[in-house]
């Protein structure tokens, strides 16, 4: 899909704050409210905008201990991969999961309260999944950049 400068600006504004009204956006873009509404509708209908979400402050909900956990499966059989992926989807501590190339098969981003909470997660949930050969965990020291915005 081709985007003009107005679409790019509109998408950036919506990614910064999706609760802005069409009136506010129309003022920023120099367009009528109707034109902004129609552009947003087009972006939603074509799937460019897939959903609107609330981003929580991890400090305020006590989930500020972030772990990147590399997971290696015992084998790369289709059934093992699909079973692992289904099971990971049920673990609410896992906020992101990437199937990757390299030494490990998956990278999980895990948000928990603290090291003790992570240990409990590992012992009672992650290590109970079948077909995991090994894991390697890295812990966040500080957050340098965290954005959901994609600039076109």
The 3-class secondary structure across 12-29, one letter per residue, is HHHHHCCCCCHHHHHHHH
Q: How confident is the model at residue 102 (pLDDT cuts 50, 70, 90)?
A: very high
> Residue 61's pLDDT is what?
97
Structure confidence at residue 103 (pLDDT):
96
The tokens describing 54, both together, are 């609330």
Whole-number Å distance between alpha carbons of 54 and 52: 7
Look at residue 1 in the predicted model and tell me its pLDDT. 83
Closest CA to 83 of 74, 96, 92, 95: 74
Q: What is the mean pLDDT of residues 141-149?
A: 96
d(CA 120, CA 65): 13
Structure tokens at 122: 């590992």
- pLDDT value of residue 104: 98
CB distance 94 to 110 below 8 Å: yes
Letter string b/e over residues 29-64, b meaning 16 or more CB atoms within 10 A of that residue's CB: bebeeeebeebbeebeeeeebeeeeeeeeeeeeebe
Mean pLDDT of 92-118: 98
Query: pLDDT at position 119, please?
Result: 98
* CA distance linking residue 103 with residue 71, whole number of Å: 9
Percent of the chain with pLDDT over 90: 99
Mean pLDDT of the chain: 97
- Tens digits of per-residue pLDDT, 23-70? 999 999 999 999 999 999 999 999 999 999 999 999 999 999 999 999
pLDDT value for 37: 98
According to the model, what pLDDT value does residue 111 have?
98
Tokens 């087009």, located at residue: 42
Instruction: Using the Cα atoms of residue 77, residue 78, residue 84 and residue 88 in order, give the sign of their dihedral.
Output: positive
């Amino acid at each position: 899909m081709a985007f003009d400068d107005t679409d790019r600006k509109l998408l950036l504004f919506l990614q910064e704050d999706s609760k802005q009204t069409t009136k506010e956006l129309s003022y920023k873009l120099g367009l009528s409210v109707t034109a902004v509404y129609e552009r947003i509708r087009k972006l939603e209908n074509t799937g460019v905008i897939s959903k609107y979400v609330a981003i929580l402050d991890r400090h305020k909900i006590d989930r500020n201990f972030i772990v990147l956990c590399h997971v290696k499966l015992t084998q790369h059989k289709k059934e093992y991969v699909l079973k692992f992926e289904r099971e990971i989807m049920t673990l609410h501590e896992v906020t992101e999961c990437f199937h990757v190339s390299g030494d490990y098969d998956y990278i999980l981003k895990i948000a928990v309260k603290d090291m003790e909470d992570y240990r409990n997660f590992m012992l009672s949930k992650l290590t109970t999944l079948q077909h995991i050969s090994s894991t390697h965990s890295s812990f966040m020291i500080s957050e340098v950049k965290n954005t959901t915005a994609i600039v076109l």
